[in-house]
């Protein structure tokens, strides 16, 4: 029996994007399409993909591809790359959100398979650490907001303190059809602060969607509600938290956001 592909269209204020429970990355591109695939995640159970703690997203248009984070294990990342059948030789840039193993651990296998061609962008504070681990790589340290290609920006690095360490983290902003799509690694600095910075960088554009880690595993109902209300006040249209967000937090967001909640986990992909 053939396995079916189920695709639904999610309407957003500026138009629509296509969300698929199977991988459409190999399908033909039109000139303006950007595709995003969740390549590595501990949430989701897509057939043939390996689920492990961490996060990685593949971002692709007709000309080129970008990898946002690389998960934790090289073997898992490469298995999922093979399962997704993405064209690794199309990869021109890699963006690392922060230095934690579950976001940077898979970097060596990608660099090896691409013969170290992609440019790697990391928070400036993580530059020495990541360069030491990957001495052949072409690595750029990011401080403030920068444009990475014609449709992709970094928020610049945020600095925050946890109970154990100081973390520097950047997020990615995709421009498409006059709207913004925000991709987060772990959101250690706080998802609300990242959204505020995104809107400061691009005040004239609407924020249609946030996907990635929100890092809220131990938040109370009232803490999650407060953040949910603030995201709505900031006019975020839809959210798709995963990875380190926390199962209880995810369930609260689902109830609060209803049809504006997007399940975007391992193996899921979308066209924008």
Q: Are 65 and 87 in contact (CB under 8 A)?
A: yes
pLDDT for position 34: 95
Total number of domains constituting the chain: 1
- Residue 211 CA: distances (Å) to CA of 5, 150, 163, 164: 22, 20, 25, 26
Domain annotation covers residue 31? yes
Domain annotation covers residue 1? no
Tokens encoding 197:
């910075």
Q: What single-letter DSSP state applies at residue 261?
A: B
**pTM of the model as a whole:** 0.91
Domain annotation covers residue 222? yes
pLDDT for position 162: 79
User: CA 269, 183, 188, 206: dihedral to nearest 10 degrees?
Assistant: -130
Q: What's the CATH number where 16 sits?
A: 3.60.15.10
Domain annotation covers residue 79? yes
pLDDT for position 264: 97
Domain annotation covers residue 249? yes
User: Quick one: average pLDDT of 154-179?
Assistant: 93
Domain annotation covers residue 2? no
Residue 68: give the domain boundaries: 7-271
Confidence of residue 11 (pLDDT cuts 50, 70, 90): very low
| Per-residue pLDDT tens over the stretch 91-150 | 999 999 999 999 999 999 999 999 999 999 999 999 999 999 999 999 999 999 999 999
Q: What angle do CA 128, 163, 266 make, to 5 degrees?
A: 70
Domain annotation covers residue 103? yes
Domain annotation covers residue 142? yes
């Amino acid at each position: 029996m053939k396995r079916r592909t189920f695709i639904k269209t999610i309407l957003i204020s500026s138009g629509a994007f296509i969300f698929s429970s199977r991988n459409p990355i190999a399908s033909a591109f039109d000139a303006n399409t950007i595709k995003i695939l969740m390549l590595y995640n501990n949430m989701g159970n897509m057939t043939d993909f390996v689920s492990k703690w961490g996060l990685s997203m593949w971002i692709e248009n007709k000309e080129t591809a970008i990898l946002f984070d690389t998960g934790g294990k090289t073997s898992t990342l490469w298995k999922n790359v093979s399962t997704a059948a993405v064209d690794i030789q199309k990869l021109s840039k890699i963006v690392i959100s922060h230095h934690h193993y579950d976001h940077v651990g898979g970097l060596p296998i990608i660099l090896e398979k691409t013969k170290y061609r992609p440019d790697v962008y990391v928070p400036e504070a993580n530059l020495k650490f990541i360069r030491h681990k990957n001495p052949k790589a072409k690595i750029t340290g990011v401080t403030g907001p920068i444009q990475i290609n014609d449709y992709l920006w970094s928020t610049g690095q945020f600095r925050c303190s946890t109970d154990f360490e100081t973390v520097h983290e950047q997020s990615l902003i995709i421009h498409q059809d006059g709207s913004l799509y925000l991709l987060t690694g772990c959101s250690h600095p706080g998802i609300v602060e990242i959204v505020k910075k995104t809107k400061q960088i691009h005040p004239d554009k609407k924020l249609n969607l946030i996907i990635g880690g929100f890092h809220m595993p131990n938040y109370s109902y009232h803490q999650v509600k407060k953040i949910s209300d603030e995201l709505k006040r900031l006019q975020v249209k839809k959210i798709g938290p995963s990875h380190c967000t926390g199962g209880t937090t995810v369930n609260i967001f689902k109830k609060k956001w209803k049809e504006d909640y997007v399940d975007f986990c391992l193996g899921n992909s979308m066209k924008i």
